[in-house]
Structure 1
Amino acid sequence: MDVSFVGTPPIQDLLDRVAGVSSPEGDPRLKAIVRDLIESIMTVIVRHDIGEDEVWGAVSYLQKSAGEFGLLMPGTGIEHFLDLLMDAKDAEAGRTGGTPRTIEGPLYVENAPLVDNDANLTSDPDDTDTLYMTGRVRGPDGEAVENVILHVWHADSKGFYSHFDPTHEQTPFNNRRRIRLGADGRYAFHSKMPNGYSVPPGGASDTLMKALGRHGNRPAHVHFFVEAPGYRQLTTQINFGDDPFAADDFAFGTREGLLPVPNRQGDTAHIAFDFELQRADEKADETFSTRERLVVA
């Protein structure tokens, strides 16, 4: 069957009815989006001659994978695509410079302890090396950014995040802090070295990766939100440049400029990394996206 079938009057009429085109009620923007989305799905079904069993198999997969949508978004490249799209919009608007943005991932937790500089992120015993990170937060002209809140979170040496640890052994907010910086924009913290992780074995993400001939591994990395009055909020992360998965991150979080190699000495590792923020054009630029995040009192 040729994909022109989707353009026939009966199918086009069906799409109009699905999207409520003739109804004066509802959101016109949502109507247009839903119509285009459903039409795209129909086109894919016809183009690849997807049968009824395959369609319902996909529905079953999606129903079972609801708990892993946060992993499927980066694993399918959609979260990285959003970063690339925002980069392109910035370029069109003449916005340049700044530390590259990259994916947030699904494992941020709100209300981490707010602490002063030179913070220890790790609350639990962890028999591994100690990571030290230092650097500065600067503006586009090299100025020190004042009143910065640096959000930091990462996994433990097993690759597990507090609040998402399947062993339930970590205390709340282990390896999670919000650090209040001084007027010089300098930051410093230490923690126990994180390890990379794999998607849950046998889960929805693992099933899809194997079907695509891919793996579900991430390199060791550290996540950041950087916020300060007058500057655009930055969502980014560093991947350890010496990790074997740094060049093959299943979540596509690796970006040029975000691959420092830890200076490993004995039982310690040191990373020096500076952040550069862009100035905010409006108040909304300073705020976080409205995606749903885990909230813990």
Structure 2
Amino acid sequence: MQDLDVNGITDAVIEQMATTPDPRMREIMEAAVRHLHAFARDVNLTPDEWLKGIAFMTAVGQACTPYRQEFILLSDVLGLSRLVNVMHDTKGREATGTETSLLGPFFREDAPKVELGGSIARIAGGPEIQIFGQVTDTNGQGVPHAVIDVWQTDAEGQYDLQAHDPSVMDMRGQLRCDDAGRFHFRTVKPIGYSIPMDGPVGELVRQQHRHGFRPAHIHVLVAAPGHRELVTALYFGDDAHVDSDTVFGVSQSLVITARDDLPDAPVQGLPGIRYDFTLSRDADTEGGRVGSDPSRLMPAG
């Protein structure tokens, strides 16, 4: 029997876990224990505070449903989702590849097919814009027939899963680029929106006096054989919260502005955005997306 002090308990726990057969699991759990114990010592955590923390995590779990994943939302607002993505980018993305952004919880498989030039807005109305560009490799060569999934909120700031029955798909679509990797489609300009504030994570955000808003954005997933899948988003630069995204998803290279004077716009007279996506070669098949089964969804978006 050991008499454990505030430092000895950490070593005792790690020693007891040393028989873990999976080396990666052993590495992660040892680091988790060291950091958690160090955190408790650093803030001099009290039993009452720890019980409140347990109650909070319990409430986060209880808020989860088949269409709401409160733990993803917690990861997002703490910046952990972004951190994991940035580390994954650093590991596998070539410097010239398009930056990634959060997948969010509203991606859905089997989005409706949209012909080039078509609209992803089948129900929603609002000011229309066009988005066009080219998918290239890191040498600037077009990637033929790359597949692009796009999804976004409507002009009221809602995803289809929020505005309609789950069987309805709107403001999302899948396009196939032409022989040169070119694409263009029409959509409704989205607006920014608040993350769900009716649960424990929303209450945490309120207690921190944070605004809880995401800037207007369009999610994009680009895939092509032999290339690394790209998960990113385009953020509208005229949104008031583009510099203070609650889930830290915005990068400068992903900020866009609709313009009326683009000479190469497929539809003249319609506000347009040109954005070219660059795919890295598939050097790593490990893992792809944080929260990569998010058709049961909700939080940041």
Report the TM-score when normalising by structure 1.
Answer: 0.85
Answer with 199-208 or 249-258: which moved more.
199-208
Superposed counterparts of 1:35-50, under 5 Å:
35-50=30-45
2:160 match: 162
Superposed counterparts of 1:208-219, under 5 Å:
208-219=204-215
1:222 match: 218
Match of 2:248 among 252, 256, 262: 252
Query: What SS does the corresponding residue of 2:133 show, helix, strand or coil?
Result: strand
Q: CA deviation at 1:216?
A: 1.1
Q: CA deviation at 1:130?
A: 0.8
2: CA distance, partners of 1:159 / 1:226: 24
What does the per-residue CA deviation read over 1:133-190, in whole Å, with 9 as the maximum and x for residues that have no partner? 1111111122111121001000111211112x0x536862201111111112111111
* C-alpha RMSD of the superposition: 2.6
Q: CA deviation at 1:55?
A: 0.8
Query: What SS does the corresponding residue of 2:131 show, helix, strand or coil?
Result: strand
- 1:28 aligned onto 2:19: no
Q: CA deviation at 1:122?
A: 1.0
Query: What SS does the corresponding residue of 2:111 show, helix, strand or coil?
Result: coil
1:105 match: 104
Contact kept? 2:105, 2:296, Cα under 8 Å: no
- 1:187 aligned onto 2:187: no
Structure 1 counterpart of 2:192, one-letter code: G
Q: Alignment identity in percent?
A: 26
Structure 2 gap segments, 5+ residues each = 65-69, 262-268
- 1:238 aligned onto 2:234: yes
- 1:56 aligned onto 2:51: yes
Q: CA deviation at 1:206?
A: 1.7
Contact kept? 1:199, 1:205, Cα under 8 Å: no
Q: CA deviation at 1:7?
A: 2.8
Contact kept? 2:221, 2:232, Cα under 8 Å: yes
Structure 2 counterpart of 1:200, one-letter code: P
2:11 match: 12
The change in CA–CA distance for 1:13 and 1:62 in structure 2 (over 3 A counts) is same
Contact kept? 1:16, 1:35, Cα under 8 Å: no
Superposed counterparts of 1:63-142, under 5 Å:
63-66=58-61, 67=64, 68-90=70-92, 95-126=94-125, 128-142=126-140
What does the per-residue CA deviation read over 1:201-229, in whole Å, with 9 as the maximum and x for residues that have no partner? 33222212222232210000000011011
Q: CA deviation at 1:245?
A: 0.6
- 1:176 aligned onto 2:172: yes
Contact kept? 1:136, 1:274, Cα under 8 Å: yes
The change in CA–CA distance for 1:13 and 1:217 in structure 2 (over 3 A counts) is same
The change in CA–CA distance for 1:80 and 1:228 in structure 2 (over 3 A counts) is same
Q: CA deviation at 1:63?
A: 1.4
Query: What SS does the corresponding residue of 2:175 show, helix, strand or coil?
Result: strand
Answer with 219-228 or 167-176: which moved more.
167-176
Structure 1 gap segments, 5+ residues each = none
2:264 match: none
Contact kept? 1:102, 1:237, Cα under 8 Å: yes
What does the per-residue CA deviation read over 1:104-143, in whole Å, with 9 as the maximum and x for residues that have no partner? 11211111123332221112142x2012111111111221
Answer with 247-256 or 34-43: which moved more.
34-43
2:293 match: 292
Counting matched residue pairs gives 279
Structure 2 counterpart of 1:141, one-letter code: N
What does the per-residue CA deviation read over 1:21-51, in whole Å, with 9 as the maximum and x for residues that have no partner? 2x4x642321232232123212211211111
Structure 2 counterpart of 1:41, one-letter code: L
2: CA distance, partners of 1:230 / 1:32: 32
The change in CA–CA distance for 1:210 and 1:6 in structure 2 (over 3 A counts) is same
2: CA distance, partners of 1:13 / 1:159: 51
2:67 match: none
Contact kept? 2:10, 2:33, Cα under 8 Å: no
Greater relative contact order: 1 or 2 (C-alpha under 8 angstroms, separation 6 or more)?
2
What does the per-residue CA deviation read over 1:81-111, in whole Å, with 9 as the maximum and x for residues that have no partner? 12321333348xxx32021112111211111
Report the TM-score when normalising by structure 2.
Answer: 0.84
2: CA distance, partners of 1:170 / 1:132: 26
